Amino acid sequence: MDKLQRMKDLIDLLNKASKAYYMDSEEIMSNFEYDKLYDELLELEKELNTVLSNSPTIRVGYEVVSELPKEKHPSPMLSLDKTKDVEALRDWLMDKEGLISWKMDGLTVVLTYENGELVKAVTRGNGEVGEVITANAKTFKNIPQKISYKNTLSIRGEAVIKYSDFEKINAEIKDIDAKYKNPRNLCSGSVRQLQSKITAERNVHFFAFYLVDPEDPLLIESFDNSLSKRFEFLAGLGFEVVEYKKVDKDNIRDAVKYFSEVIKDNDFPSDGLVLSYEDVAFGKSLGRTAKFPRNAIAFKWQDEEALTTLREIEWSPSRTGLINPVAIFDTVSLEGTDVSRASVHNISIVKELALGIGDEIKVYKANMIIPQISENLTRSGNVEIPKCCPCCGSKTEIKNENGTETLNCPNPLCPAKNIKLFSHFAERNAMNLDGLSEQTMEKFIDSGFIHRLSDLYHLADHKDEIINMDGFGEKSYNNIIESIDVSREADMAGFIYGLGISGVGLSNAKLLVKHFDNDIEKIIAASAEDISEIDHMGDVLGKNISGYFKDPDNLSEVRRLLSEIHFKAVEVAGEQDLTGLTFVITGSLNNYTNRDELKNEIENRGGKVAGSVSSKTSFLINNDITSNSGKNKKAKSLDIPIITEDDFIQRRFLDAN
């Protein structure tokens, strides 16, 4: 293959993986695979003396996409250069002292305290702009709400969910397709919730790893230019600091060995170590590259690998129609547990690894959790892609989206697909059909009572059969029918979410309903272009939603469902006195529980809430009108009025307007 073309292919693949990881909290390839491809790209760039503008080797990250308020960091939060070689760490450290500590695998967050109280928390985001998650951070399990130091203080750290909590949360999820892939993904979604109550339920912990230079010169002087003294200061304030050891070139090997042994028993996720100079001034004097600071470097060790033999590829259908390949191999021990299965994700990876039955493969546990195949030594490539769905026997289809091939079952009545779809439709956030578990749905499908979603509303036709089924009786039957009857008065967003349209979660369903004025017919008739123009939707969701309703079979089923239900009346809270006005909210609140509560009131009164100040902003709400925050400065430069919470509550701004 042409080397320049290979470079372009690597850039596309790595950028796609980064987008999934940082923006969508999904993982389409392991860290091991990403690092391997990244290193290959670096070598090609050096060899060809060419770096393309969209290369991940010169880009820090991707733009933040969410409904959370956004804020620019005072200075860029750069990623670290990395090595997998302990000797390279020794060379980097030179004759200096350093601190080596855990590289946590969660979500980086910056906490800011003023007058001893936590006033702001912002995620790393893309390194330039993060998301404001203050209310959520206040629910973290181990951060001090108040500290003894009264001047402004900013601390960087990692929000993580421990393995023990991760396993408990996953154990409560019955649907295997809905289980979280790893603690990092769960943590990212938990920290960035729009409801802090959900964050609180996830047991998020915070580990401090960096103290941003305080404005107090006396405090800086007290640190005596020592990084370890900064850690001691943070620990003295009540923060849990990442475990660290002081090292030099003579003992750094022993320190790395210590961490490599301890990680096996850790209850928190870590994907390596960080080595920093103990001499803070020296580290700063080295400056930075376009992407990396030179005062610290990351060390990433290889995951424990084992050699085994591939015995089978199991093809597992899901409710979306995807048929996922799963590798079955001779049992090996990895990270202290027996492993015999690993997800292969899609056809493209099956082909890339040239998998064949009987091949010698290397497997490992990514971040000590998810079994993966790292390498295929024999590459026989004899795995056959099923021509028929292993569940229903229908002819399969291979789809190619953005260069990734997936196997799909097109049969809308496939039992595997329908069991998942039925249980999804019955979820609390969808139609809330209490009593209709996945096991119950499976029994009803096997008995021929239900073939499509609308059949749920005709289960009364099978009363005698249901009452006489094993595990059922008149009481169980009555409970199911009552639940179904209650669901006939439905929430429109929950209904759309329950249809199982690819990529449409509850929040997207709510956006759709609001944009189209709570009119289901407008939603059904909307074009992909109309939908893609909605904030946070985009082209892919636009095509998915429009395509779903344009499909004759889907539309017929939606019509059948609509004949069985009616939608709840939309309640408008109060007068629409904020129509045409756009607000931005910043700073702490006194009268509202959180920003979401204030945002909901504004939207219920016809207004809009944006995350950043622009020429379209009508008012900036900030209780500290005189502060020199970025939003205040931007509002003043654009002559946008800054009002307090009391101004908003008393509606004084309307008089001025």
Q: What is the DSSP letter of 643?
A: E
Interhelix angle 539-550/552-562, rounded to 10 degrees, is 70
The answer to whether 363 and 334 have CB atoms below 8 angstroms apart is: yes
Beta strands (DSSP E) in 63-172 are 70-72, 82-83, 98-104, 107-114, 117-123, 129-131, 153-161
The answer to whether 506 and 494 have CB atoms below 8 angstroms apart is: yes
Taken in order 260, 266, 271, 275, is the CA torsion positive or negative?
A: negative
Contacts of 34 (CB under 8 A, 6+ apart): 14, 17
Query: What are the angstrom distances between the C-alpha of 555 and each of 217, 322, 400, 459?
Result: 68, 21, 25, 22
Instruction: Assign 646 to helix, strand or coil.
Output: helix
Beta bridge partners of 161: 204
Is 103 marked active-site? yes
| First-last CA distance in the chain | 65
Instruction: Assign 218 to helix, strand or coil.
Output: helix
Q: How far apart are CA 641 and CA 620, in angstroms?
A: 6
Transcribe 52-65 into DSSP letters: -TT-TTT-------
Write out the two tokens for 345: 């994700």
Write out the two tokens for 147: 């500290």
Query: What are the angstrom distances between the C-alpha of 409 and each of 75, 169, 237, 426?
Result: 49, 30, 57, 22
Query: What are the angstrom distances between the C-alpha of 558 and each of 141, 184, 309, 420, 538?
Result: 44, 37, 47, 18, 24
- DSSP H helical segments within 172-251, as ranges? 183-191, 196-201, 217-222, 227-237
Q: How far apart are CA 483 and CA 129, in angstroms?
A: 46
- In the set 19, 70, 103, 264, the catalytic residue is 103
Q: How far apart are CA 328 and CA 340, in angstroms?
A: 6
The order of strands in the sheet holding 98-104 is 82-83, 296-299, 270-277, 98-104, 244-247
The set of catalytic residues is 103
